[in-house]
Chains A and B, each alone.
Chain A
Amino acid sequence: MRYLPLTDTDRREMLAAIGVDSVAALFRDVPRGVWLERPVDLPLAKGEIEVERALGRLAAKNLPAGSVPSFLGCGVYRHHLPAAVDHLIQRGEFLTSYTPYQPEISQGTLQSLFEFQTQVALITGMDVANASMYDGATACAEAMMMANRLTRRHKAILAGDLHPHYCATAATYARFAGHSVVERPPDPTAEDDLAALLDGETSCVVVQNPGCFGHVRDFSALAAACHRAGALLVVVVTEIVSLGLVKPPGAMDADIIAGEGQSLGNPMGFGGPHLGLFATREKFVRQMPGRLAGQTVDVDGRRGYVLTLSTREQHIRREKATSNICTNSGLCALAFTIHLALLGEAGYVRLAELNHARAAAMADRLARVPGVTLLTQSFFNEIALRLPRLAAPVVDALAARGVLAGVPGGRLWPERPELADLLILAATETTTEDDIEALAAALAEGLR
């Protein structure tokens, strides 16, 4: 394919056609404060070797989570990725295929999506899962919008330990749909009584399990309270490995599950591309957003796969569609499916057990560091600590010593000084005893 760059004439003609006088005018909705008011500082041309060296120098400024003791979490987790995952997803048939509108040429992709959906439905304990969303945060927002459609109500209650970025995404969706959200204040001790907030206007309560501070809870009673009030319970899961050990949201009688699937098959990748998981009850499937692969038979009775229930979707339903998502995170979903298939059911449970064991060892060790208070008594692989001082400078000091000591509260809730002494840390199967010891020693020294 030839690359045909635009000429100045092309640009002028296109701008004239849409009645705009400059390319910059197309970006007028971007707040002025974040505009770069000068050209990007890049040389016009460099040789390949020079470029590699320059970029290598830049990359060396990072402290990669994979090469040091890392306790980063809060929605993105470091796990071991089997080499087979990357090898298989790079096959051209998978790597280059796009959203499979034509079943006659897309059986492999459709089958992998069908398997993916089956896995997601099984681990969440739900009836049906879609072929994935963009990421956990958008899946959460879509779950809220779906609950609003199903209940014909427009007020969602967002739990105080729902990840603040998920809250912000849901609030943005709600704002532009003319709906409302009740964002509960951050709840590091998980004491908020959400059932008491339910009223006749409430479409859903959105909770996260394990919560953003690490707490693991059983939301069965909240689900029952929601249903009595005519509302739905949306459960967000940002660490999908937890479902190997934690009671699945389906068993708590949740109505919609929105999850982040990065932990299986996908690298942290500076926060993306990641993998939104979405599952619900069969009775709600008509209001589910996103693509759905289904299994059927052809005219000769042979098994085959198709996209199904497409009449929910934008290319058919137009403005009445359940969502404007017309695609999915196909390759990330495939990586998830391969990783989970390699683990198998027993391996998945064992992985979850390992994660919890490492986190328990971490919690025990850190609770012995003078001045540190452990806030999370029931957790999966993530805990919250209260430090005797601001957490962010401590994290910076430990990073300088080659330890990524988790996420300080001030990073997630910059507008809440009362959370600035919180530190949230995750441990996974990649965390060693030495890592925990290095962290504890550095933390003790950093707090001295």
Chain B
Amino acid sequence: MSTVKYTRDHEWVRVEGDVAVIGITDYAQTQLGDVVYVELPELGRKVEQGKEAAVVESVKAASEVYAPISGEVIAVNDVLSGEPGKVNLDPMGEGWFLKLRMADPKELDALMDEKSYSGFVEGLH
């Protein structure tokens, strides 16, 4: 079974071997409203944990998406350029943003699991 972890900035990361799939959470897409544009990094770019990796724009706001962990970008979800609404419809599935080759899996330890993240979101209300 794959591991899914969460950040306080409402990104999720799903680990598949040494690859990390990254997106934004259901809570994030609800708060943003209709997503109209996603700016994704170029392949090969090295991103650092906690630093900007992508930008998501909704009808209300533009927000940075921070890399939950460090690594090199090996894939981006090109479908989002034509259908950004996938982020709203299926944030944890078809609405994924990018894939990284992880630099240091230990970084995952600093992230929340699903239970802690649910508690964190509860605390925001």
Contacts and interface: CB of A to CB of B under 8 A. Distances in A.
A316 B39 CA distance: 16
Interface stretch (B17-25, B56-64, B85-93, B105-113): B56-64
B16 to A, nearest CB: 29
A11 interface: no
B57 A311 contact: yes
Interface in A271-326: 286, 311-312, 316-317, 320
A320 B62 CA distance: 9
A320 B61 CA distance: 12
A232 to B, nearest CB: 16
Interface string B75-87: 0000000000000
A316 B37 contact: no
Nearest to B42: A152
Interface in B29-80: 36-37, 39, 57-58, 61-62, 64
Contacts of B57: 311
Given A286-B37, A286-B39, A311-B37, A316 B61 contact: yes
A436 to B, nearest CB: 54
Nearest to A285: B37
Contacts of A320: 62, 64
Contacts of A312: 62
Contacts of B58: 311
Interface string A198-220: 00000000000000000000000
A320 B52 CA distance: 12
Contacts of B61: 311, 316
A178 to B, nearest CB: 18
Nearest to B55: A320
A182 B37 CA distance: 35
A14 B58 CA distance: 40
A379 B42 CA distance: 42
A317 B62 CA distance: 6
* Residue among A286, A311, A316, A317 facing the most chain B CB atoms (10 A cut-off): A311
A253 to B, nearest CB: 22
A316 B60 CA distance: 8
B28 to A, nearest CB: 16
A289 to B, nearest CB: 15
Contacts of A311: 36-37, 57-58, 61-62
Contacts of A286: 37, 39
B51 to A, nearest CB: 13
Nearest to A152: B42
A85 B84 CA distance: 43
A441 to B, nearest CB: 62
A189 to B, nearest CB: 40
Interface in A356-380: none
A343 to B, nearest CB: 37
Contacts of A317: 62
A311 B61 CA distance: 6
B58 to A, nearest CB: 8
A181 to B, nearest CB: 25
B65 to A, nearest CB: 12
A286 B39 CA distance: 9
A320 B56 CA distance: 13
Contacts of B64: 320
Contacts of B39: 286
Nearest to B81: A283
A316 B61 CA distance: 6
Contacts of B36: 311
Nearest to B62: A311
* Residue among B37, B39, B62, B64 facing the most chain A CB atoms (10 A cut-off): B62
A316 B58 CA distance: 11
A316 B36 CA distance: 15
A403 to B, nearest CB: 55
A299 to B, nearest CB: 15
A312 B36 CA distance: 12
Nearest to B36: A311
A312 B64 CA distance: 13
Nearest to B58: A311
B106 to A, nearest CB: 29
14 contacts: A286-B37, A286-B39, A311-B36, A311-B37, A311-B57, A311-B58, A311-B61, A311-B62, A312-B62, A316-B61, A316-B62, A317-B62, A320-B62, A320-B64
Per CB-CB distance, the 7 closest pairs between chain A and chain B, nearest first, are A311-B62, A311-B57, A317-B62, A316-B62, A316-B61, A286-B39, A286-B37
Interface of A: 286, 311-312, 316-317, 320
Given A311-B58, A316-B61, A320-B62, 6 more contacts: A286-B39, A311-B61, A312-B62, A316-B62, A317-B62, A320-B64
Interface of B: 36-37, 39, 57-58, 61-62, 64
